[in-house]
A and B are shown apart, each in its own frame.
Chain A
Amino acid sequence: MNKKRETESFLPLTPAMFHILLALADGEKHGYAILKEVARRTEDKVRLSAGTLYGNLARLESAGLIAESGKRPEVVLDDERRRYYLLTAFGRDVAVAEAERMEEALVQARVKKLFRKPKLA
């Protein structure tokens, strides 16, 4: 009950946040990888800049939705000090709650016949 209220306090998520959480849903990634994933998945409709990406990462991290992974990159592959981020259990809950919220909105929109073909179904 309490936990539910806590997850709901984050809703609705901004599109950028939701996409970042989505990007981390299938494994930990570093910043640039997140950015690339989001662009690919949304066919470039959601374009994150370095600023918006890290602004959101900072907020998600301080709220405990994501965390820094202990994993370090192999030095050979990249000489930059990259950090990897992972989705926390709490972050997953929030992402699920957001998806459910969206779905509910979709159902209602369908009942009101606000669109003909269900695209996400």
Chain B
Amino acid sequence: MEKQSQTLSQRMFRALMRVLPFDFRTNYEGEMEGVFREQQREVKERGGALDALRLWRETIAGIFTMAPREHWQILQDDCRYALRMMRRNVWFTAIAVATLGLGIGANTAIFSVVHAVLLRPLPYTQAQQLIQVRQTEKKVGVDDLSFSVQEIADYRKQNRTLAGLVEYHSMSFTLFGHGEPERVRTGVVSANYFELFGVQPLLGRTLVAEDEKPGAPAVLLLSYEYWKNNFGADADIVGKTFEMNDKVHTVVGVLPPVPQYPDENDVYMATSACPFRSSPMHTENRDMRMMEVFGRLKPGVTVAQAGADMATIAAGLRAAYPKYYPGNVGYAAEASPLKEELTRTARPTLLLLLGAAAFVLLIACANVANLTLSRMARRERELAVRSALGAGRSRLLRQLFTESFLMAMASGLLGLLLAYGSLELLVDFAGRLTPRAREIHLDAGVLLFTLGVALGTSLIFGTLSAVFSRANLTSSLKEGSAGAAGSGRRQSRVSSVLIVGQVAFSFMLLIGAGLVVRSLIKMQHTDAGIVPQRVLAMRTTFNWSKYTDDAASKVVLQKLLERVKAEPGVVSAAVSSRYPFEPEAISDGPEAVSFTFAIDGRALEPGEAPPVSTYAAVSPDYFAALGIPLKAGRLLAETDREKAPLVAVINEAAKRKYWPNEEALGKRMSPDGGQHWGTIVGVVGDVREFGLNHAPVPEFYVPQAQNAQPATLIVRTVAEPRSMARALTRAVHDVDPQTAVTHVLTLEQARYESLASPRVTASLLGIFAGLALVIATAGIGGIMALMVSQRVREIGIRMSLGAAPARILQMVLSRGLLLCGLGIALGMVGAVALRDLVKSLLFEVPATDALTFAGVGLTLLAAAALASYLPARRAAGIDPNEALRAE
């Protein structure tokens, strides 16, 4: 019993000793235990239980107060020593820190985007409860039908899963009372819209129920950006009035800087203030759809449950209004998390880039590990001597880890600086993918990530050094230089593996970058079907309230065209509801301008989806202005007026899809279930309207004179089109000074801008791949140089036995190329395995494109040959006599 308690307290004391540094324990553990035993004996003799407790308390407190000091002491010693070693090997340190810093910087930069966009919750209250509700007609390929006023009322009334349901749509209105007439992008929303999102106003208030009542005084809420950029962040803005849609609008508040979804708007108004939304045409027609719908889940409800709820409501509507929801379109409704909607386009690109950055870091790690190994070979003696002088093994390991830790921290700092420097560029890039870009910062989460990555890297190459030193500490002392030679061979084997890995990862990265760049080049050289040179587009937004009926707006558009065509330097001019590469058309996609129609004399099978196409309302010169060729029949003409028979011109894609084996000219179609019929009078060439990577879709061009639509002015000029912008704006204001002219863009600019996102992706991937190539090449060069210096004696022997310098050159070169070739083979396997990751970013280039694979392989081989050439020449120049004498 006595014995047992003795050993128990002994064990406890020993366990307690574990908090002390290893060295200290080795030195004093036995003695301390002895002292403690004596103290215990003494206490027992006195026989006080309280005394025994007091002894334990004092012992524990004593050890815990002294332990940090001892650890700190050792850390200080190690750091001082490590810094001295780093100073002594300035080049090694600089190269290692720079290499790792680049890798960490790339990861930090991309992670800051991933963190802000994909990981952090949306900056709304209880954002996980926010959903978007969608109506779909899957059978005709419509994933996002908008909502009509009546549908919104139905979903609001009938749902059982939502705590709130709000609507949204965006329009452009002209705002007066603040300098020139200004076109403002206006979000038209339910009164409780911001309340539902949990957004508190920065100034004033948001919208309230009273604002939405019919006939309520019109009020405006300004977005943070609009307030800041257009009103200089005027603190007294609340209460100011502006004129819009012939009504006085009073500013009631300013929003905080939150991501605006679905669109970045300048101002917000209540639904009752929108002249379109509140018109009988919209309130009375179930299929006048233009709104989007968001909801907040009731507590405890999942998105799936809400989705099922919406589907049930949709089924009810199908049964109640078969006229509006015919069976053949597949009408349904669904719910998805708002966060998913906000990050849908960004996710695949960002994850790919994060993967690429991780590859770069891996390659950098392998390179530094190699550097460390070759330095370890030189430090072997130093470590062996220290070990012989009594430094314990774990003491040496601790020393090595301190060194790699310091190096990693320096690299982390460098990486952070690099990431900080590239932040602005990244925000700009991410802005093309998601409204969350403004949230990108180097915040605590990112700093933690960088610290973690730096620690991880220090662990990786610290462990490598440690493993290597463990293997060699004993042998190099015991066997002298013979042992060192043996370990040199092992080391070069480890190095070779690392080189092969580096090349493999570089190959994969280069393939990814190569494929994306090739896609970009293909896109750039794709024929869009128009002649974009010397064409200017300008959005002309009339003051809606002045042109309330179709006739008035047709007259003013006609006047506008006549006035513009009279301007010297104008070759042709047209108005159109949209134009190729229009930024908004690209982001909204063809669905936003699609309609279903019936073809005369062609009945649908039960359940068969009706034909669907996009459409544009254009004036006759549209085709001439853009250079769209006529393929059959005729173009639209001035005679296709309002009272004339309805006509349409289709593109070849529409002809191929709906009249593949027959004449399309003269056929009739109806967009409204047979109330009106239009005749096809011509076929024109296909245009890649929605981006160069978007195959042409069926398109109907209808006369603007028969279908008045908000218009963009399209002008083909003799000279550089931008130089005409001022004169053309003046011409527009001659016709009506209350017209806002915005979005002035040449078609070439629009075409260039449409490729911005793939271009940035390609550049980032290209930069990463370039880094990888440089790092891997340097790695090969370094290792070959090391190999040569380790084998000077062997090479000397070979030469003295008659090997020609050329033979030696070839030997070294072929070794470098062999390693590279192995890496390429492995990389090829990897690239084929990972091909699905990059597929979504490719355009007309297969993920296993032979040309790219061959090009990348040759590039790597050439780099390896170059990197091995210098060491190879050195080897060939070795003087055999000197080499043998030196040993």
Evaluate whether A49 and B70 lie within 8 angstroms (CB atoms) in the complex, with A54-B31, A54-B32, A58-B24 already known. Answer: no
CA distance A35 to B70 in the complex (A): 20
Residues of B within 8 A of A97 (CB): none
Within 8 Å by CB of A81, from B30, B32, B58, B70, lies: B30
Which of B60-68, B661-669, B872-880 interfaces with chain A? B60-68
Instruction: Mark each residue of chain B from 41 to 76: 1 if its CB lies under 8 Å from any CB of chain A, else 0.
Output: 000000000000000001101111111011000000
Within 8 Å by CB of A58, from B27, B36, B58, B64, lies: B27
Interface size on A, residues (CB 8 A): 19
Which of B30, B35, B61 has the most chain A CB within a 10 Å cutoff?
B35
| Residue contact A32 to B66, C-beta cutoff 8 Å | no
Residues of B within 8 A of A80 (CB): 30-31, 34
Within 8 Å by CB of A32, from B28, B34, B67, lies: B34
Tell me whether B38 is interfacial, beta carbon within 8 Å.
yes
| Residue contact A50 to B36, C-beta cutoff 8 Å | yes
| Residue contact B32 to A50, C-beta cutoff 8 Å | yes
Evaluate whether A51 and B38 lie within 8 angstroms (CB atoms) in the complex, with A58-B27, A58-B28 already known. Answer: no
CB-CB contacts below 8 Å: B397-412 with A? none
Residues of B within 8 A of A47 (CB): 58
| Residue contact B62 to A52, C-beta cutoff 8 Å | yes
Within 8 Å by CB of A49, from B34, B61, B67, lies: B61
Within 8 Å by CB of B35, from A50, A58, A81, lies: A50
Nearest-neighbor residue (CB-CB) of B37 within chain A: A80
| Residue contact A35 to B31, C-beta cutoff 8 Å | no
Residues of B within 8 A of A35 (CB): 35, 39
| Residue contact A51 to B59, C-beta cutoff 8 Å | yes
CB-CB contacts below 8 Å: B680-720 with A? none
Instruction: Mark each residue of chain A from 44 to 63: 1 if its CB lies under 8 Å from any CB of chain B, else 0.
Output: 00011111111101100000
| Residue contact A31 to B31, C-beta cutoff 8 Å | yes
| Residue contact A51 to B63, C-beta cutoff 8 Å | yes
| Residue contact B38 to A32, C-beta cutoff 8 Å | yes
Nearest-neighbor residue (CB-CB) of A53 within chain B: B35
| Residue contact B34 to A51, C-beta cutoff 8 Å | no
| Residue contact A58 to B62, C-beta cutoff 8 Å | no
CB-CB contacts below 8 Å: A66-87 with B? 80-83
| Residue contact A82 to B31, C-beta cutoff 8 Å | yes
| Residue contact B62 to A51, C-beta cutoff 8 Å | yes
CA distance A50 to B129 in the complex (A): 59
CA distance A30 to B58 in the complex (A): 20
Instruction: Mark each residue of chain B from 140 to 151: 1 if its CB lies under 8 Å from any CB of chain A, else 0.
Output: 000000000000
CB-CB contacts below 8 Å: A32-46 with B? 32, 35
CA distance A61 to B31 in the complex (A): 15
CA distance A31 to B777 in the complex (A): 60
| Residue contact A32 to B69, C-beta cutoff 8 Å | no
Which of A31, A32, A51, A52 has the most chain B CB within a 10 Å cutoff?
A51
Residues of B within 8 A of A30 (CB): 31
Residues of A within 8 A of B63 (CB): 49-51
Nearest-neighbor residue (CB-CB) of B42 within chain A: A36
Instruction: Mark each residue of chain A from 19 to 37: 1 if its CB lies under 8 Å from any CB of chain B, else 0.
Output: 0000000000011100100
Query: B389 to chain A: closest CB distance in Å?
Result: 16
The total of interchain contacts (Cβ-Cβ below 8 angstroms) comes to 65
Query: B727 to chain A: closest CB distance in Å?
Result: 84
Residues of B within 8 A of A51 (CB): 32, 59, 61-67
Residues of A within 8 A of B66 (CB): 51-52, 54-55
Interface size on B, residues (CB 8 A): 23
Query: B787 to chain A: closest CB distance in Å?
Result: 44
Residues of A within 8 A of B67 (CB): 51
Consensus secondary structure, chain B interface: helix
Query: B81 to chain A: closest CB distance in Å?
Result: 16
CA distance A107 to B63 in the complex (A): 37
Nearest-neighbor residue (CB-CB) of B28 within chain A: A54
Query: A53 to chain B: closest CB distance in Å?
Result: 7
Nearest-neighbor residue (CB-CB) of A62 within chain B: B73
Query: A31 to chain B: closest CB distance in Å?
Result: 5
Residues of B within 8 A of A82 (CB): 31, 34
Residues of A within 8 A of B61 (CB): 49, 51
CA distance A57 to B58 in the complex (A): 17
CB-CB contacts below 8 Å: B414-451 with A? none
CA distance A54 to B64 in the complex (A): 13
Query: B356 to chain A: closest CB distance in Å?
Result: 51
Residues of A within 8 A of B35 (CB): 31-32, 35, 50, 53-54
Query: B373 to chain A: closest CB distance in Å?
Result: 34
Residues of B within 8 A of A83 (CB): 31
CA distance A55 to B32 in the complex (A): 10
Query: B75 to chain A: closest CB distance in Å?
Result: 15
CA distance A55 to B19 in the complex (A): 13
CA distance A83 to B69 in the complex (A): 23
Residues of B within 8 A of A54 (CB): 24, 28, 31-32, 35, 66
| Residue contact A58 to B30, C-beta cutoff 8 Å | no
| Residue contact A49 to B30, C-beta cutoff 8 Å | no
Query: B54 to chain A: closest CB distance in Å?
Result: 9
CA distance A50 to B854 in the complex (A): 71
Residues of A within 8 A of B30 (CB): 80-81
Residues of B within 8 A of A52 (CB): 62, 65-66
CB-CB contacts below 8 Å: A59-117 with B? 80-83
Residues of B within 8 A of A32 (CB): 34-35, 38-39
CA distance A57 to B70 in the complex (A): 12
CA distance A54 to B33 in the complex (A): 11
Nearest-neighbor residue (CB-CB) of B63 within chain A: A51
Evaluate whether A55 and B69 lie within 8 angstroms (CB atoms) in the complex, with A49-B61, A50-B36, A50-B39 already known. Answer: yes
Nearest-neighbor residue (CB-CB) of A80 within chain B: B34
Residues of B within 8 A of A48 (CB): 62
Query: B524 to chain A: closest CB distance in Å?
Result: 70
CA distance A32 to B66 in the complex (A): 18
Residues of A within 8 A of B59 (CB): 49-51
Query: A5 to chain B: closest CB distance in Å?
Result: 22
Query: A3 to chain B: closest CB distance in Å?
Result: 25
Residues of A within 8 A of B70 (CB): 55, 58
Query: A90 to chain B: closest CB distance in Å?
Result: 20
CA distance A62 to B28 in the complex (A): 13
Residues of A within 8 A of B58 (CB): 47, 49
Evaluate whether A50 and B24 lie within 8 angstroms (CB atoms) in the complex, with A31-B31, A80-B30, A83-B31 already known. Answer: no
CA distance A120 to B38 in the complex (A): 32
CA distance A32 to B550 in the complex (A): 106
Residues of A within 8 A of B64 (CB): 51
Query: A13 to chain B: closest CB distance in Å?
Result: 15
CA distance A83 to B58 in the complex (A): 23
CA distance A24 to B412 in the complex (A): 50
Instruction: Mark each residue of chain B from 10 to 39: 1 if its CB lies under 8 Å from any CB of chain A, else 0.
Output: 000000000000001001101111111011
Residues of B within 8 A of A53 (CB): 32, 35, 62
Residues of B within 8 A of A31 (CB): 31-32, 34-35
Which of A32, A48, A81 has the most chain B CB within a 10 Å cutoff?
A32
Residues of A within 8 A of B28 (CB): 54, 57-58
Residues of A within 8 A of B69 (CB): 55
CA distance A118 to B63 in the complex (A): 37
Residues of A within 8 A of B39 (CB): 32, 35, 50
CA distance A55 to B69 in the complex (A): 9
Query: B436 to chain A: closest CB distance in Å?
Result: 53
Nearest-neighbor residue (CB-CB) of B20 within chain A: A51
Nearest-neighbor residue (CB-CB) of B56 within chain A: A49
Query: B562 to chain A: closest CB distance in Å?
Result: 97
Residues of B within 8 A of A55 (CB): 62, 65-66, 69-70
- Nearest 8 A-B pairs (CB), nearest first? A49-B62, A51-B62, A55-B66, A51-B63, A52-B62, A80-B34, A50-B32, A49-B58
Binding site for B on A (CB under 8 A): 30-32, 35, 47-55, 57-58, 80-83
6 residue pairs from A and B, CB less than 8 Å apart = A35-B35, A49-B63, A52-B66, A54-B28, A54-B66, A80-B34
A32-B34, A49-B58, A50-B62 known; 5 other A-B pairs, CB under 8 Å?
A49-B62, A51-B62, A51-B64, A53-B32, A80-B31
